[in-house]
Amino acid sequence: MVRGNHTEQQRVVARAVELGINYFDTAPDYGNGVAEANLGRILRDLGQRPVINSKVEIRQDNLDDIAGHVVRSCEASLKRLAIDHLDILQIHNGPATTPPTLEAGSYWALALKDFLRTDGVMEGLHRLRAAGKINYAGFICRGGDGDEVRELLKTGQFHLINVPYTLINPTAGLVRPSNVTAQPDYGGVINDAAKHGMGCAIFSPLAGGYLTDDHLDGTASHPLARPRDPSGIIERAKLVRFLADENDLTLAQAAYRFILMHEHVTTAVGGFSSQEQMEEIVRVSGMGPFSAAEMAKLQTVWRA
């Protein structure tokens, strides 16, 4: 939605809708507003109005008026998307008790007190709901923030969390305490959210693209794909590849199938560089869970 051309984008979105994909995730930070503008234009051309989630990024220069920034950012997103309300607006900062200093342009984390204080995040979301500009609100989990996440869950003001949950870091979906360790630790927040009646959208389902056959086999990435940094993740990805091999799946398909097994996962938010990649993943829908024996083997891999 940023680097593709209009014809490609329209073709892929039309096919996505045809295949039953009805949840579209975007953000002002994706292409500096370009993704929102392109998505809005294409959906108008197609006459479609799926569920749309966008976000708010809170940076250092927004801290003096967080509530006002939340409202202004949402209104700018609505203008780019050319719609009158968002189904879900998410805070793109994760909550933290003592967040790192927000460097120029950074929105990784935000102090929990800035979510809750007067003129903070909650106030901005309240203004938007009162004006009918959003239906629901959510936030991002960045890992190592389980206690802060649970504090926000208790407010009853949020309805969706975004969190990674992958074959090589399943900590967001495990029951606490667990004998499986991985960093960052997401502390079983998917299950905590479910206790509060909240949905869960899984982002980065392929661990930044590492859970793909192309990456493990050294095949060049798609021209539209984001660059990947060298990482030790690849060694862990090789250890879970058996799930794909034993089920005649691609590794990407196995990664999505694992995510969709979790009873409290609402949707998986994937990034695609081509229609072919999207259609590869859609075939996973309805496959059902992996076997108990396969999951036991996976547990052994995790513990190691």
Secondary structure letter of residue 14 according to DSSP: H
Cβ atoms of residues 195 and 155 within 8 Å: no
Is position 101 within any domain? yes
Q: Is the pLDDT of residue 219 over 80?
A: no
Task: Give the mean pLDDT of 1-9.
Answer: 92
Distance between terminal CA atoms of the chain? 39
Model pLDDT, residue 41: 97
Which range is least confidently modeled, 86-95, 153-162, 216-225?
216-225
- The CA distance from 288 to 268, in Å, is 15
Model pLDDT, residue 105: 79
Q: Find the CATH number of the domain harbouring 94.
A: 3.20.20.100
Provide the token pair at 86: 């968002």
Higher pLDDT, 143 or 176: 143
- The CA distance from 88 to 150, in Å, is 20
**Within 10 Å of residue 245's Cβ, how many Cβ atoms?**
10
Report the percent of the chain where pLDDT is more than 90.
Answer: 82
Is position 173 within any domain? yes
Q: Is the pLDDT of residue 178 over 90?
A: no
Is position 60 within any domain? yes
Is position 1 within any domain? no
Beta bridge partners of 163: 202
For 129-141, write each residue's pLDDT tens digit. 999 999 999 999 9
Give me the number of domains the chain comprises.
Answer: 1
Q: What is the average pLDDT score of the chain?
A: 93
Task: Give the mean pLDDT of 199-211.
Answer: 94
Model pLDDT, residue 23: 97
Q: Which residues contact 256 (CB under 8 A, 6 or more apart)?
A: 205, 268, 270, 281, 284
Q: Is the pLDDT of residue 54 over 70?
A: yes
Cβ atoms of residues 46 and 17 within 8 Å: yes
Is position 151 within any domain? yes
Positive or negative, the CA dihedral 95, 96, 102, 106 is negative
Is position 131 within any domain? yes
Model pLDDT, residue 126: 98
Which range is least confidently modeled, 44-53, 193-202, 224-233, 294-303?
224-233
Exposure class string for 66-97: b at 16+ Cβ within 10 A, else e: bbebbbebbeebbebbebebbbbbbbbbbbbe
Task: Give the mean pLDDT of 44-55.
Answer: 97
Report the percent of the chain where pLDDT is more than 70.
Answer: 94
Model pLDDT, residue 229: 54
Is position 130 within any domain? yes
Per-state percent for the chain, helix, strand, coil, to nearest 5: 45, 15, 45
- 215 pLDDT tier (thresholds 50, 70, 90): confident
Residue 212, CA atoms < 13 Å, CB-side half-sphere: 22
Is position 62 within any domain? yes
Model pLDDT, residue 176: 80
Residue 261: what are its φ and ψ, rounded to 5°? -70, -30
Q: Is the pLDDT of residue 230 over 60?
A: no
- The CA distance from 221 to 272, in Å, is 12
Q: Which residues contact 148 (CB under 8 A, 6 or more apart)?
A: 94, 95, 96, 97, 112
Model pLDDT, residue 34: 97
Q: Which domain holds residue 209?
A: 6-303
Helix (H) or strand (E) holding 199: strand 199-203
Q: Is the pLDDT of residue 228 over 70?
A: no
Positive or negative, the CA dihedral 66, 117, 87, 2 is positive
Nearest to 141 by CA among 192, 178, 86: 192
- The CA distance from 80 to 99, in Å, is 31
pTM of the entire predicted model = 0.92
